[in-house]
Chain A
């Protein structure tokens, strides 16, 4: 646990959900999601280097700077994941479901 330079105690983290366990789980999910992205990004870069027959070392991956075409690919992969996660957080249906008032109105019998 980090200690504050003033010596003042660090308080409990803020809660937003009725069950604070959800707050903590959300933190874990987002930490993992960010880390998954970092790993996928590295994997994509390895593939790019392999496609170009470039040597793959830990240092060259850390120092990688994409060219504009590579950047576009990497940005798109990242945005697909972040958009999906944020979409999941909105609670909006992804396909049109049954009308709230039911389907009786469609029955013409």
Chain B
């Protein structure tokens, strides 16, 4: 079982070393890149990411910055002591834990499920085989998420912050929450753990991720959550009775046609007055940061970040039946949005809409 996976100092030492380099990249190399940009942009006014790219062409710091972003992530997952390589040695233990008897209410798998083509064609965030194809991929992803955003001490606090945002913005009593693209359940857990009275459903494509999510819920003896294998665009859940439809880092992993379909599905699921709230990455006003963001999209195998960033989200929400959309920066840790924070960070942003209808406060 999972607790039988032995400690391995060499693996820990390797991963800590890669993470150290990533932290230096975040805190030292990124501000240096900004300095380089400010020098070359002194007499010109770059308006777009393409302008910035042209200015930074051939800059060695920019090349180093790109190289480290791409390859530290590669080393983390598939290097000599990468996550997929290391945990492959404990496949049997992981398989046994993930296939152990869980309370039936926790997990609904679809044996005939067909994965969408966009999903199987790209190994998202450089996870070899994606987070879906290998039975241990969900467990590996859960382990890897502990160091995705090195400025966050615990990724859990980000999930709690997001949950608090959603719960405080809900206009009426919350009885049912659907978390789309729930992965290994990190974004779902604060809802079911902190609110035992709320009925929580996590929807996800990947069986290996769903199995980890269900196992963690079983360990916590949760009674109020279930995980369902389905496409977020077509959940198969009852419509019209959900108070919050949420997602965390889902939208940037899908093409615009799917994103629009997610908004339509959110609208269908929601009760009148219900809240649609997605946490994702948008960077629109600073050409330097747009250039960095577009680069990240390519370097980390997350190609749909760029089209998401360019989408007309108001039009997409209106088409889905919402009247308005609010785009709100999200502070993933205290001080993250302060101008004093010169380190690299994801441009965390909440995309918020409310289903029209009668249920008290209609303000966003």
Residues of A that sit less than 8 Å from B by CB: 2, 4-6, 8, 14, 16-18, 23, 26-27, 30-31, 33-35, 37-38, 41-42, 45, 61-65, 74-75, 78-79, 81-83, 85-87, 89-92
Contacts and interface: CB of A to CB of B under 8 A. Distances in A.
22 contacts: A5-B133, A6-B120, A6-B133, A14-B70, A16-B63, A16-B66, A18-B63, A30-B21, A34-B75, A35-B14, A35-B80, A38-B10, A38-B14, A63-B8, A78-B17, A79-B20, A83-B20, A89-B68, A90-B28, A90-B29, A90-B32, A91-B61
A104 to B, nearest CB: 24
Contacts of A37: 13-14, 17
9 A-B pairs with least C-beta separation: A86-B24, A82-B20, A5-B133, A41-B13, A16-B67, A16-B66, A16-B63, A37-B17, A64-B9
Contact of B64 (A62, A65, A75, A89): A89
Given A23-B67, A86-B28, 9 more contacts: A4-B123, A16-B64, A35-B80, A38-B81, A62-B9, A62-B10, A63-B9, A86-B68, A90-B29
B66 A45 contact: no
A18 B58 contact: yes
Contacts of B63: 16-18
Given A5-B133, A5-B134, A92 B32 contact: yes
A64 B298 CA distance: 38
The binding surface of chain A is classed by DSSP as helix
B287 interface: no
Contacts of B192: none
B183 to A, nearest CB: 19
Nearest to A14: B70
Contacts of A65: 7
B321 interface: no
Interface of B: 6-10, 13-14, 16-18, 20-21, 24-25, 28-29, 32, 58, 60-61, 63-64, 66-68, 70-71, 75, 79-81, 120-121, 123, 128-129, 133-134, 298-299
A89 B133 contact: no
Contacts of B81: 34, 38
Contacts of B71: 26-27, 30
Contacts of B14: 34-35, 37-38
- What does DSSP make chain B's interface, helix, strand, loop or mixed? helix
Contacts of A16: 63-64, 66-67, 70
Nearest to A59: B6
A100 to B, nearest CB: 13
Contacts of A81: 17
Contact of B21 (A2, A38, A85): A85
A98 to B, nearest CB: 20
A63 B134 contact: no
B293 to A, nearest CB: 17
Nearest to B8: A62
Contacts of A82: 17, 20-21, 24
Contacts of A74: 13
A2 to B, nearest CB: 7
A61 B12 CA distance: 12
Contact of B16 (A61, A78, A83): A78
Nearest to A86: B24
B29 A89 contact: yes
Contacts of A26: 67, 71
Nearest to B18: A34
Contacts of A35: 14, 80
Given A14-B299, A37-B14, A5 B129 contact: yes
Most buried by A among B8, B13, B75, B120: B13
Nearest to B132: A5
Nearest to B298: A14
Contact of B129 (A4, A33, A78, A79): A4
Contact of B24 (A14, A34, A83, A92): A83
Contacts of A61: 9
A74 B17 CA distance: 11
Contact of A41 (B9, B58, B67, B134): B9
Nearest to A85: B21
Contacts of B6: 62-63
Contacts of A62: 6-10
